[in-house]
Amino acid sequence: MGRKAGGADVFGYKTNENGEYVPVPEQAKIVQLIYQLTLKDYTLRQVRAELNRRGIRTARDRDSWSIAVLGGILRNDIYLGVYRFLKSKHGKDVDGSRYKVNRDDQSVVGSRQKPNHPPLIEPRMFDMAQQKVQANRKKNSLRVHLATGLLRCPVCQAHMHAKYSRSGSVDSVVKDTCSKKPECSSKRMLVSETNDTLWNSLVQLFVEPERIHSLIAPAPENDLDVVKKDLASVDRDQKALKEKQERLLNLYLEGNVPQATYVVKSSALEAEDSCLRDKRADLQQWIQSHGKREVTADLIQTLRVLARSHRRFTEEQKTNVFRSMVKEARFSASGIELEMYSQPIQNVSWKYRQKRLSNTSRPTPSLQTVRIQTARQLTKSR
């Protein structure tokens, strides 16, 4: 019916007692301003700065806008009068990381020609804004640093990202910064020094790859017991979830639950069941591979090949090689810890969009990782 199924109101609209979308004049003007600024070649950060300069507050009455919120406004075709339900779901990558993907079976009510609700943006303006956003995204993603998205904070273990200090000035330098700052107390590290340190730690393995066996970081003794307990917990959750699905189906068949409510709750339970199945498969794979040292054989062979030519690598080649072999990197008190793939893969995007370089018919265990602890070589902090 094109009415809100749940959640908060979309910025620019409110819903009446029937769940129908009605424009909020004050917020609608802000949405239109965001699109107008984008068409004037403002980046998302420049749009945020302009909104802050004008004293325009967010829907939650905050004085600073989020980049993610602005990007969502510019990509949401609800402002064209199109209503979408079940737009996305969580996918899982080959290395276990989760990401969001658009659903093929989403429900769509209304179109540009026949809007479901009053549109706030003209189709031509919306399309031009998409082109501007896409162009800026390509421009910003041209440079991927050696450890972007792979390096962990030495204090809180959160992911670190590259951030420019004194942005726009001649003294601007890029540094690895914890994603949880300012809450985290870790110091920023120069990307250039971090890259040199991490690459040199990998070169140590090129020179003497057989040392991997002695460098493998020992896993805690109770790791296997903890994983088995997690597996038992997942099994209990799956059993309880199955009972919920059966009860919901019975209530629907007895006429105690409306069809719309049943569809929403059933979809949520199916998504939860999918996550539990993926988690159970990962835990079972970890248990099966526990204690197997032969996974390092492929890695040693790769290192031997790289040892012949690593001195001739360009900076781009170093980045590609490091990112194809290392899943995560950490600085610790005892040294540098690298979690490495037993076979190289390709990082398509810094947020773990990865695919195999080898034959896709090979079994998943070829993507097992080993933790290598090299000598102490911390970068200088700033």
pLDDT tens track for 279-337: 888 787 767 655 544 557 777 888 888 888 888 888 888 888 888 888 888 887 777 88
Q: What is the pLDDT of residues 14-30, one digit of tens each?
A: 988 888 889 999 999 99
Answer yes or no: do 24 and 130 share one domain: yes
Does 65 map to a domain? Answer: yes
Residue 354 has what pLDDT?
A: 39
In the predicted structure, residue 364 carries a pLDDT above the cut 50: no
Residue 132 shares a structural domain with residue 241: no
Full DSSP string of 311-342: GG--HHHHHHHHHHHEEEEEE-SS-EEEEEES
Mean pLDDT confidence for 337-365? 51
For position 28, what pLDDT does the model report?
Answer: 93
Cβ distance 121 to 80 under 8 Å? yes
Q: Provide the 3-class DSSP secondary structure of residue 302.
A: helix
Q: Is the pTM of this model over 0.85?
A: no
Per-residue pLDDT band at 161 (split at 50, 70, 90): confident
Q: At what angle do helices 123-140 and 67-75 cross, to 10 degrees?
A: 140
Judge if the upstream peptide bond of residue 363 is cis by omega within 30 degrees of 0: no
Q: How much is the pLDDT for 103?
A: 76
Q: What is the dihedral of CA 218, 343, 290, 200, to 10 degrees?
A: 0
What is the pLDDT at residue 319?
A: 87
Q: How confident is the model at residue 142 (pLDDT cuts 50, 70, 90)?
A: low
CB 285 within 8 A of CB 364: yes
C-beta of residue 277 within 8 angstroms of C-beta of residue 242? no
Q: What is the CATH number of the domain that holds 42?
A: 3.90.1750.20
Of 74, 109, 140, the domain-final residue: 140
pLDDT score of 293: 47
Same domain, 227 and 136: no
- Which range of residues forms the domain containing residue 238? 223-289
pLDDT at 243: 93
User: Of the residues 289, 307, 339, which one is the last residue of a structural domain?
Assistant: 289
User: Is residue 364 in a domain?
Assistant: no
Does residue 139 or residue 356 have the better pLDDT? 139
Per-range mean pLDDT, top range of 35-39, 174-178, 205-209, 286-290: 35-39
CA 175 vs. chain centroid, Å, equals 20
Classify the phi-psi angles of 166: left when phi > 0, otherwise alpha if psi is within -120 to 50, otherwise beta.
Answer: left
Question: What is the rounded CA–CA span in Å between residue 243 and residue 247?
Answer: 6
Which of the pair, 89 or 11, is modelled with greater confidence? 11
pLDDT at residue number 345: 66
At residue 31, the pLDDT reads 94
Nearest Cα neighbor of 35 from 129, 135, 134, 131 is 129
Q: Indicate the pLDDT class of residue 377, thresholds 50, 70 and 90.
A: very low
Q: Does 38 map to a domain?
A: yes
Tell me if 282 is assigned to some domain. yes
Cα(119)–Cα(22) distance, integer angstroms: 10
Please provide the size of the chain in residues: 382
Q: Answer whether 230's CB lies under 8 Å from 283's CB.
A: yes
Residue range 49-67, pLDDT digits in tens? 999 999 998 888 888 888 8
| 325 in a structural domain | no
Query: In this structure, is residue 27 part of a structural domain?
Result: yes
Residue 345 lies in a domain: no
Phi and psi torsions of 104, nearest 5° = -80, -20
Predicted pLDDT at 294: 55
Residues 80-89 have a mean pLDDT of 84
Does residue 373 fall inside a structural domain? no
Last residue of a domain, one of 106, 125, 140: 140
User: How far is the C-alpha of 179 from the C-alpha of 162, rounded, in Å?
Assistant: 9
Number of domains in the chain: 2
d(CA 271, CA 88): 11
